[in-house]
């Protein structure tokens, strides 16, 4: 939440706010984010009954909108990573690296998880730390079944977490 006196929005209004102890205070509420900007002395308000009440929904709406915007941005970044990864997997650089790893492993699956087909058809990244310039120790030849099982075990089904 935004702390007292940290709101930078311009739209503000003095409102009555009742706290859990039953005491009513006058506060300046931001109409954009709903934060309590500052307390206002009751003596400075000519007609207390004319003030509106504190609106908790302003805060809830503001943070929900921020959460949704953050989720949209995250989804956009995830899609961009997927596109870059797919593009990289089609590149000559990847195919050269992939072939080198498969040759080193004699096209044999190195995982040998139950259900393994023995013949390696794919190359698995241990991490994506070196993505785009992987050393051979970060790659391993695997069959499709083992690759799927490893990805499930690592919780990496879907989008690689590429460190850039």
- Domain layout of the chain by residue ranges: 12-72, 90-154
pTM, whole model, 2 decimals? 0.59
Q: Determine how many CB atoms are found less than 10 A away from the CB of residue 108.
A: 14
Name every residue whose Cβ is closer than 8 Å to that of residue 28 and which is 6 or more positions away in sequence: 12, 13, 14, 15, 36, 37, 38, 39, 40
Q: Determine how many CB atoms are found less than 10 A away from the CB of residue 159.
A: 12
Give the three-state DSSP class for 85: helix
Round to the nearest angstrom and report the end-to-end CA distance of the chain.
Answer: 31
Give the three-state DSSP class for 75: helix
* pLDDT(1) > 60: no
- Contact (Cβ atoms closer than 8 angstroms) between residue 130 and residue 138: yes
Note the pLDDT tens digit of each residue in 41-91.
999 999 999 999 999 999 999 999 999 999 999 999 999 999 999 999 999
Q: Are strands 12-18 and 139-142 parallel, antiparallel or unpaired?
A: unpaired
């Amino acid at each position: 939440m935004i702390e007292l006196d940290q709101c930078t929005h311009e739209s503000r209004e003095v409102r009555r706010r009742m706290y859990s102890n039953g005491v009513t205070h006058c506060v300046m509420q931001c109409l954009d984010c709903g934060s309590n900007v500052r307390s206002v002395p009751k003596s400075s308000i000519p007609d207390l009954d004319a003030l509106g009440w504190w609106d908790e929904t302003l805060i809830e709406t503001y943070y929900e909108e921020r959460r949704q915007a953050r989720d949209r941005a995250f989804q956009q970044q995830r899609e961009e990573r997927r596109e870059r990864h797919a593009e990289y997997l089609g590149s000559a650089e990847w195919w050269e690296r992939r072939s080198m790893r498969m040759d080193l492993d004699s096209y044999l699956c190195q995982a040998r998880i139950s259900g393994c087909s023995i013949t390696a058809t794919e190359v698995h990244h241990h991490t994506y730390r070196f993505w785009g310039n992987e050393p051979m120790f970060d790659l391993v030849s695997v069959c499709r079944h083992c690759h799927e099982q490893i990805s499930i075990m690592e919780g990496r089904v879907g989008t690689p977490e590429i460190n850039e």
